[in-house]
Structure 1
Amino acid sequence: MRRTRWAGALRTPVGAGAAAVLFLVIVLAIAAPMLWSQQAETVDTSHILQGVSGDHWAGTDNLGRDIFFRVLVATRFSVELALAATLLGVVVGLALGTAPLLLGKRAGRFVIAVVDIAVAFPGLLLALFFAVIFGVGTKGAVLAIGFAVAPGFARLTHTLAAGVSGLDYVAAARIAGAGRFRVMARHVLPNIAEPLIVNATIGAGGALLAFAGLSFLGLGVQPPAYDWGRLLGDGLSGLYLHPAAALAPAIAVVIAGLAFNLFGETAAKALGHPSPGQRILARRKEVVADEPAAAEPDAPVLVVEDLRVSFPGPNGPIEPVRGVGFTVGRGETVGVVGESGSGKSLTALAVARLVEEPGHVQAGRVDFLGRSLLGDERALRSLLGTSFAMVFQDPSSSFNPTRRIGNQLAEVARFHQGMNRTDAFTRAVDRLRAVRLPAAQRRAKQLPHEFSGGMRQRAMIGMGLMGKPALIVADEPTTALDVTVQRQVLRLLCDVRDSDDVAILLISHDISVINQMCARVLVMYAGRIVEDLPTTALSAARHPYTRALLAAVPDLETDRDEPLAVIPGRPPEPANPPPGCAFAPRCPLADARCSEEAPPLLADDDGRRVACWHAGEEVPVDTETVGAGESR
């Protein structure tokens, strides 16, 4: 496939022309010094400053040396210097552009601020500035141009890396325990390699022009060495009498610069999905990772108390999750339901330690398998990577598109269980079979785009089973799947739960799915749990919001001639929650107390919890407004 793309790109007029000219430049850079160095260095004082002739195609210089041969011989030095400056700029640019991901948000913001200031200045002005700092000469010019190229490359790297780092497969790698450098090398850089390679190729042409400019100004290559810029400067003094002396090196600079630029455009068409530019070997562990301490058989798998997630806002902190608390027992399936923006997914991400700055997570208690998740993230990697599984909402973004499915699953076993490459891949194939993926051996060697949506979701569940999970958090696992595939995925989760006694926290908008899958349901609204009850008691839900969600699900008895009922109004904005009960502006039972005082989440004699001043009261028939059209 890759060869086909390259062949197609090189058949175009631009691609063929750029490749031919660049090939000629490279051949000249290699062969010219070996073939014509003597002619280029021969001094002939009897033919000083001669014009174009049959013996001297571009005339001679002030020592009678043949300018045409000097231009050919200077090809190697000019190209070498341009490539050296480009390489320096790429390395420095990658380091600066990935600083927010490698150093953290605070240090990264400072680095990017410096980069933004540097990008505001023209590249040649930066090159002149750095040339003054590093001094006149070849070494100083290479450093000057390299550091002048770096800000633009850093800005591109930062923009591309920021877009990729927020995708689900990167979050999956982090929860699997991969460190920052490993995530960058394996999951971020390979997916932004194409524009970076193209930019570097085009940047080589720009560096060549910049280097010629510094040498022309006398800041670059110094005599007796020479490059195209130096030859151009030497020929400028006799421009009116002897224009060929300046024209020949100028043409060489333009042709070589165009060759690099046009070949970069050709590479953009040909690369498609790039492979990693370099492979970073996985960190091998001599011993298998320590198993997490076993919790008591009857102890909850997950305990959350007073969980809060906040983000900075213009008028103070914004809390999309406010005081959430719940438990999940071993082998229990707990559903979380609510409208969009109610805080369901953010609660799960906070528990999994996947909320990054500027987000701030606080909690009275978050215990997983008897161990607090509020401690150092590095110390928790083994526990989260082997016993805590995440199934993200969008299967298309849950996998790295440049790496084969089997290798991505195997990474968990290699990193946390000390397996070698072969054993880890075998384990990955076994897990794909466990989630009933057909032809698992062959499928493990395929890329994510070769999978259907349902197959990707199965593979995502298989990734969670690479360790020995005690809890699977499934965040909208059936979104964008057809009804048949939804049923298969949900049945698969049930089979995993029953066979390995795995607890499941299932997040969904669809309360009917929760009713079928779960033993207990948490109803969230405006960042809080408003009701916690068994699914067998849903028909007797006490909170008006829960009853509205239930009424929103059409069934065979729904009158198709009547419009679906909806909850009036919209959910409150997290930045501006209403005083009192957040549901009060939309609740038909609300009174003055509801608008002034927030009800606490209290448990009744049956262990059901509800946060409502009018829990269990019937809504008058003439004012009842049920349904959740906005929640679906």
Structure 2
Amino acid sequence: MRWLRVVRTPLGLTATVLMAVVLVAAALGPVVWGTGADAVDTDRILAAPSGAHWAGTDSLGRDILLRVLVASRLSIVLALLATVLAVGAGLVLGALPFLLGRRSGRIVTAAVNIAVAFPGILLALFFAVVFGVGATGAVLAIGLAGAPSFARLTQTLVAEVAARDYVSAARTVGLGRGRILVRHVLPNVAEPLVVNATIGAGGALLSFAGLSFLGLGVQPPAYDWGRLLYDGIGTIYVNAAAALAPGAAVVLAGLAFNFFGESVAKGLGVTVDVGLRPVVRARVRTEGRPAEPDADVVLDVRDLEVTLAGPAGPIRPVRGISFQVRRGEAVGIVGESGSGKSMTALAVTRLIADHGQVDATRLTLLDQDLLAPDTAARRRTLGTRVAMVFQDPMTAFNPTRRIGAQLAEAATHHQKLSRREAMARAADRLDAVRIPDARTRVRQYPHEFSGGMRQRAMIGMGLMNTPALIVADEPTTALDVTVQRQVLELLATIRRSDRAALVLISHDVAVIGDVCDRVLVMYAGRIVEELPADAKPLHPYTRALMDAVPDMATDLDRPLATIPGRPVDPADVPPGCAYAERCPLADDHCRAEDPPLAADSPEHRVACWHAGEEPR
């Protein structure tokens, strides 16, 4: 149905018909008109257009129009070969930065940028001289000259897809870059590449005709449209049609490719075609208690700090936080947008290695050091013992692959199950997360699931192995309250039955309070309060978050409570307490010195100079 949209518009229908005519002429030209095109008639040398010869004859009396029709096959085949070479080389160059990583990939990106700066025709002429005259040299010249533009397009598309959640999930599973590229990235950039390749074929056709016209392309006795145009120019004052006929063929075929490509782009909604400063490692600041390792601890985080490269210098969205999560425990992380919640989750699951620097005094999962060099054992631990539930399951699943295949991938990679066994387990996991008719659902695509079912399927993906830690980043934000309750109850059931630790990230204090045993309140990249879910908050920011959530006792005649001002920009954190400018209790001491995260009780820590005080 999507392709029908291509021909429903006047431009699309015209382009499709014109494209069909060109391809039919290329396929049948030599077969139908080949004999007549090569027939020499010395009595009709350089004859003017007539009923017998619509475009006249050449210097040997051969029919020019028939030769134009016969030349269509060689012209289009050579142009398509050059396009395939350009797309292939561009695909390799565009994917190399993803395969090589940020540092080595920058060299490839710089080389592509330099090549794109040169006009394509100059590159084609340069390569034509290098490879020599003839059809083969021209194909190589035009193909390599077109590669930089496709490489730039591929780099852009790959970089966009590489930031999606399902690619991050594949990295967590432990898949290599090559496998991720082939399975998850390239299928999602194929459509715009095909569309741009169709348009690029028109440009390759014109370029090929130009090289043949200059004598660098097809050589006699073979001929294409460019060669016929070269021959016709010599007799243009005797018979103008000798030059106009091949010229018109080049223009019409070029328009057919370009219009068809643009029609496909519009019909499918495809668009036709800033470096960062290096990360500076900052010294980690110790924030809280140095708790000793415990056999019951699943996740141990001490002095975690994340540094990202920014246009004006390093940015620290997470500034030295410490916490532990034990077996069967649910820990909530709450705070406004930009407080560092999601960045903390990505750091502990090691999903930001290519985008920033993660430092910590200790960062362990089941007592395995996550800051140690990457090994197969660490990838297996992350792939089997951590389940990551992303905020938007529609972007967390690969839209080009069936749900069952995506769930089975982790089992086939880590548990070495056969495809049949992995698909059976995928159906079992979908059934475990209460998706009806699971054996049918495993064969469906993500868009065939509702929002709540996709979120449950995402949880089922995490349960393909035996996770000791479930990290749920805003898992209910896009769901209605009924489905939200179902997802939260499902997470609680899994936690109780498997004794899995749960880290639940949300901006909704009410959700955190209902599900979690302990709450971490983050602001400006720091934990400003850690408290039991049923404890009375002491930090003014925590109290403000709770007051901003209406309940049955809220006075409807009064305006809803809000937190004045805006959250702190991670790139510009002020000295002293980051919350001071919004806090009703702040004084000069607060603005000058940042309070430490101190223990108010064995289970309650707060970072505030006026903890527990009421506003005057």
Residue 348 in 1 paired to residue 330 in 2?
A: no
Partner of 2:297: 300
2:614 to 612, 619, 622: 619
Percent of aligned pairs sharing the same letter: 65
Partner of 1:171: 168
**Range moving further from structure 2, 556-565 or 218-227:** 556-565
What secondary structure, in the 3-state scheme, does the structure 2 residue paired with 1:312 have?
A: strand
Q: What's the offset of the Cα at 1:335?
A: 0.6
Q: What's the offset of the Cα at 1:378?
A: 4.8
Partners of 2:71 and 2:223 within 8 A in 1 = yes
What secondary structure, in the 3-state scheme, does the structure 2 residue paired with 1:553 have?
A: coil
Residue 96 in 1 paired to residue 93 in 2?
A: yes
The one-character-per-residue Cα deviations of 1:257-288 (angstroms, maximum 9, x if unpaired) are: 22222332444466689xxxxxxxxxxxxxxx
Alpha-carbon separation, structure 2, partners of 1:254 and 1:120: 26
Partners of 1:298 and 1:330 within 8 A in 2 = no
Query: TM-score, structure 2 length as denominator?
Result: 0.91
**Range moving further from structure 2, 558-567 or 305-314:** 558-567
Q: What's the offset of the Cα at 1:484?
A: 1.2
5+ residue gaps, structure 1, are 274-295, 624-632
Q: 1:251 to 1:378 in 2, by over 3 A?
A: farther
1:326 to 323, 327, 330: 323
Alpha-carbon separation, structure 1, partners of 2:166 and 2:531: 33
5+ residue gaps, structure 2, are 271-292
Residue 233 in 1 paired to residue 230 in 2?
A: yes
Q: What's the offset of the Cα at 1:88?
A: 0.4
> Which residue identity lines up with residue 374 of structure 1 in the other structure?
L
> Which residue identity lines up with residue 250 of structure 1 in the other structure?
G
Residue 507 in 1 paired to residue 502 in 2?
A: no
Residue 207 in 1 paired to residue 204 in 2?
A: yes
2:460 to 459, 462, 480: 462
Partner of 1:560: 556
Q: What's the offset of the Cα at 1:52?
A: 2.3
Residue 189 in 1 paired to residue 160 in 2?
A: no
Alpha-carbon separation, structure 2, partners of 1:128 and 1:236: 21
- Matched ranges for 1:225-304 at <5 A: 225-268=222-265, 298-304=295-301
Partners of 1:5 and 1:269 within 8 A in 2 = no
Alpha-carbon separation, structure 2, partners of 1:444 and 1:330: 31
- Matched ranges for 1:329-478 at <5 A: 329-379=326-376, 380-478=378-476
Partner of 2:533: 535
What secondary structure, in the 3-state scheme, does the structure 2 residue paired with 1:305 have?
A: strand
Partner of 1:68: 65
> Which residue identity lines up with residue 238 of structure 2 in the other structure?
L
Alpha-carbon separation, structure 2, partners of 1:56 and 1:532: 91
Partner of 2:282: none
- Matched ranges for 1:31-46 at <5 A: 31-46=28-43
1:222 to 216, 219, 223: 219
Q: What's the offset of the Cα at 1:153?
A: 1.8
Partners of 2:93 and 2:151 within 8 A in 1 = yes
> Which residue identity lines up with residue 237 of structure 1 in the other structure?
G
What secondary structure, in the 3-state scheme, does the structure 1 residue paired with 2:302 have?
A: strand
Q: 1:605 to 1:266 in 2, by over 3 A?
A: closer
> Which residue identity lines up with residue 72 of structure 2 in the other structure?
T
What secondary structure, in the 3-state scheme, does the structure 1 residue paired with 2:301 have?
A: strand
Residue 606 in 1 paired to residue 599 in 2?
A: no
Partner of 1:109: 106
Partners of 2:476 and 2:487 within 8 A in 1 = yes
Alpha-carbon separation, structure 2, partners of 1:141 and 1:107: 32
Q: 1:533 to 1:12 in 2, by over 3 A?
A: closer
> Which residue identity lines up with residue 619 of structure 1 in the other structure?
E
**Range moving further from structure 2, 204-213 or 158-167:** 158-167
Q: 1:168 to 1:358 in 2, by over 3 A?
A: closer
Q: 1:555 to 1:54 in 2, by over 3 A?
A: closer
Partners of 2:544 and 2:563 within 8 A in 1 = yes
- Matched ranges for 1:119-138 at <5 A: 119-138=116-135
Q: 1:314 to 1:408 in 2, by over 3 A?
A: closer
Q: 1:568 to 1:71 in 2, by over 3 A?
A: closer
The one-character-per-residue Cα deviations of 1:164-217 (angstroms, maximum 9, x if unpaired) are: 221212212221222222222222222222221111112112211110011011
Partners of 1:523 and 1:531 within 8 A in 2 = yes
Partner of 2:546: 550
Q: What's the offset of the Cα at 1:23?
A: 3.4
The one-character-per-residue Cα deviations of 1:498-555 (angstroms, maximum 9, x if unpaired) are: 1111110001111121111111111111101112121132x2x232222222222222
Q: CA RMSD in A?
A: 2.2
Residue 584 in 1 paired to residue 585 in 2?
A: no
Alpha-carbon separation, structure 1, partners of 2:569 and 2:308: 13
Alpha-carbon separation, structure 2, partners of 1:306 and 1:432: 38
Partners of 1:194 and 1:272 within 8 A in 2 = no
Alpha-carbon separation, structure 2, partners of 1:305 and 1:261: 58
Equivalent pairs, count: 593
Q: What's the offset of the Cα at 1:120?
A: 3.7
**Range moving further from structure 2, 445-454 or 25-34:** 25-34
Q: What's the offset of the Cα at 1:31?
A: 3.3
**Range moving further from structure 2, 116-125 or 543-552:** 116-125
Alpha-carbon separation, structure 1, partners of 2:322 and 2:132: 64
> Which residue identity lines up with residue 610 of structure 1 in the other structure?
V
What secondary structure, in the 3-state scheme, does the structure 1 residue paired with 2:189 have?
A: helix
What secondary structure, in the 3-state scheme, does the structure 2 residue paired with 1:572 have?
A: coil
Partners of 2:391 and 2:475 within 8 A in 1 = yes
